[in-house]
Structure formats: C-alpha cells, structure tokens
Amino acid sequence: MTAPSTVSVIGLGYIGLPTAAILACSGVRVFGCDIKASTVDAVNQGILPFAEPDLAEHLRQAVDTGMLTASRDLSDAEAFIIAVPTPLISATKKADLTFVRDAARAIAAKAQAGSLVILESTSPPGTTERIGQWITELRPDLRGDDGAPHLLLAHCPERVLPGRIMVELVSNDRVVGGTTPEAAARGKELYKVFCDGQILTTDARTAEMAKLVENSYRDVNIAFANELSLVCDALGVDVWELITLANHHPRVNILQPGPGVGGHCIAVDPHFIVEADPEHTRLIATAREVNDAKPNWVVQQVRAAVAGKSAPVIAALGLAFKPDVDDLRESPAIAVVDKLAAALPSARIRTVEPHVHTLPSALAAYPHITLTTLDEAIKGADAIVLLVNHKAFATPPTIPPTTPIIDTRGAWGGGRVAAGS
C-alpha cells in the first residue's frame, strides 16, 4: 500500500495550510481549497495569511516548486483532507458541522470508489461516519448493497500547538481512526510521508474521542487551578506560591490559573463530549462552567480596583488566547475586555497586543477601547490588568506604586497582584 500522490486539502487555516505545505514539501501534489478569496490569493503568492514560525519557508518552497496551488473550487485528487472549522453554537453549546457538511458535499462531486477522505477537524463522535452518509446521499453509486460507502473514511485529529505547528506536525505521534481497517491503514500511509512520530491506528469513533479526551483532560485540570485561585483569593493565600509548594509532591502537578481558557480546542472540545452523553459528563460540564466564569471574576477584580473613579483609564495587556501568537479564537482576554467595556462605558480601555495590528471585531464596536503600545497604555492608567503573559510583558514596566495591578497569570510575581492571590 502506497501513499496517495495527489491530495486536496479543504480549509487553508491554522491546520489545513501547514498540512498542505508540509505534504507538498514532501513530494505530494497538493490542491488547496478555501472559501476565502483573500486566503487563496495569498497562498498562490506564497504569502502567509497568518503568523506561524517556519510555515513561510515551507509555503514558499511548496508554491515555487508547483507542488501546492490553491483555489476556491475543489480539485480532483486521490485523497481529500477536511480541515475546516467546527465552531460551537453559543446558544446550544453543540457543534456546528455546517463547514464539514459543505466539504462533504463538495467531495461528493469529485470522489470515486475507493477515494480516501480524512477528517482532521475536531468533531463529535460519529462525524466521520456522517461524512460518508452526506457523500452517498448525493452519490448513491458510491454506496454498496449493504449501505456502506465505497469510500475510505478516516479521522486523524491534529495535535499541534500554535507557534510550534511545523515542528509538531513532524515530531508528534498521530492517531488515525478508520471506519474500516483498510481506511485506517491507507490514512497511515499518507501521514507517514512527513510524520516521524508513531502513527497509531484505531476505529474512527475512538480517534474522534481521543482528541476530545486530551483537551477535556487539560480543561478539567485548568478548572481545578482556576477554582483554587478563587478559594485562595477568599482566604488571603498566594495561589502561585501555594501551587509551587504543592507541586513539590512527587505525584502532584497542578497547572497554572489564568483569566479563563481559550483557543479553538480546549474551550470547545469538552462540549462535544457533553453533547454526546450529557448524563455521564457532570465533571467535564462543571469544569467548562468554572473556566467560562473566570473572566467575570477578573472583571470584578478590575472594577473593584477602579471603584470611585468617574472615568477610569484601564490598561489591558494581551488579547491572544495564549502567549506569543496572533490567534484570538475563544480568547478569555477578549471576553474580559468586552465585559469591562460593557460594564464601564465611561472608562477608557487601552489594549496592548503585540501580535495584531487592529482590534478584533468584538471590541472594535466600542468607542472607548483602543489598541496602543505598552508605554501609552500604562501612562496615567488607574489600573493595569495582565491578561496574557507574552514575552513582551516578561519584564514588569515601571508603574507607580499606588497603581493597582491585576496579574491574572502570576507573571510579575507578588506585590500589587490582585487576581489569584
């Protein structure tokens, strides 16, 4: 069994584009597909539509050699990789599979019997099987007498960290789950083209659950740290010192609290497990509630710090969901600033985010929020809230000793730290 020589990648975002580029640099002819004309144009010019270390070099090589081209239309290929968003529906906390379904419908027009279709998008259990159903509804000729699709359907969840994607695509172990053993084996051959890590095969539902469980595990542990920070604040205990001391136990490794949990994975994936089995996911659901509530608590700390000020100036440092990236998806920092702006319409909120050049749409609608430099933000500020521990904020700026500091990350250690201490 050999790897496919041509692959169409649907979705050229944070996962799809790195995957397309590394496949192309590894000798596979790749056709990228994205609904955004601006993304397609950028890729075809070898220009990154977002920041990610080492991706620019891979993209330029892939485009210059003609091994990667992009289009808004899906191209014929031996294999199809779906790497589209699976956002959370805010009202129901369930997965919105619209983009996955649209991808499946596009594939239906191109697929042949035996085509390999891989879902990389993080999805609720059973989604890979539904892709087969969506395709064969439009292409009954791809359905056997037993009703099973004449397709090789597999799920291979990404396991990469923004800022290290190009390294971890190669080094991390991968899980490939097929609706049949043949589908899993065929998927494994494709990822062996560039992956040096161990490639583990299983069934599709187990692979889907593996990704959800990995992020739910982290979410539950972060929730413990976040809840601990609330308890410590009530008891007058320094949570950062407490965690450091507790972690000296050989079997204890408490994570760090923060202003909440963000990103496209940890803040979303646990809901997919709860959706699949609400009756038996009380711990997972509660952890989500704890982490989702943390921005509200940070807002309370800031409001207390500026109480009595008629038009307070607040410096909010960081908007990304994690340090040193430009990724704002599900960022608790944005939630904090948004809630502050709504609660304090007379305030002037100066935000600092070294990795973006414009305010996200959620904040741009507020006339009293600006994006500025660190020096401008802290000048004359009535309170400073550190929301993201970017390297740019590693050294505490010179701040008057009477200015309240709400350090949600424990990055500036002790002193005038209100949140989580």
Q: Provide the annotated active-site residues.
A: 211, 265
| Amino acid letter, 148 | A
Q: What is the CA radius of gyration of the chain?
A: 23
Residue 348 is encoded by which pair of tokens?
């002037």
Measured in degrees and rounded to the nearest 5, phi and psi for residue 19 equal -65, -45
- What is the C-alpha separation between 192 and 104, in angstroms, rounded? 24
Distances (CA, A) of 331 to 129, 268, 291, 302, 338: 31, 11, 12, 18, 11
- What is the C-alpha separation between 162 and 166, in angstroms, rounded? 9
CA 47 to chain centre: 22
Residue 31, helix vs strand vs coil: strand
- What is the C-alpha separation between 123 and 204, in angstroms, rounded? 11
Place of tokens 């959800």: 212
Residue 23 is encoded by which pair of tokens?
């496949």
Closest by CA position to 129, among listed 196, 31, 205 = 205
- What is the C-alpha separation between 82 and 99, in angstroms, rounded? 9
DSSP string for residues in 201-235: EEEHHHHHHHHHHHHHHHHHHHHHHHHHHHHHHHH
- What is the C-alpha separation between 100 and 16, in angstroms, rounded? 13
Q: Does residue 109 contact residue 74 with C-beta atoms inside 8 Å?
A: yes
For 170, other C-beta atoms within 10 Å of its C-beta total 14
Burial per residue of 199-238, b for 16 or more beta-carbon CB atoms within 10 angstroms, e otherwise: bebbbbbebbbbbbebbbebbbebbebbbbbbebbeeeeb
How far does the chain reach from its first CA to its final CA, in angstroms? 58
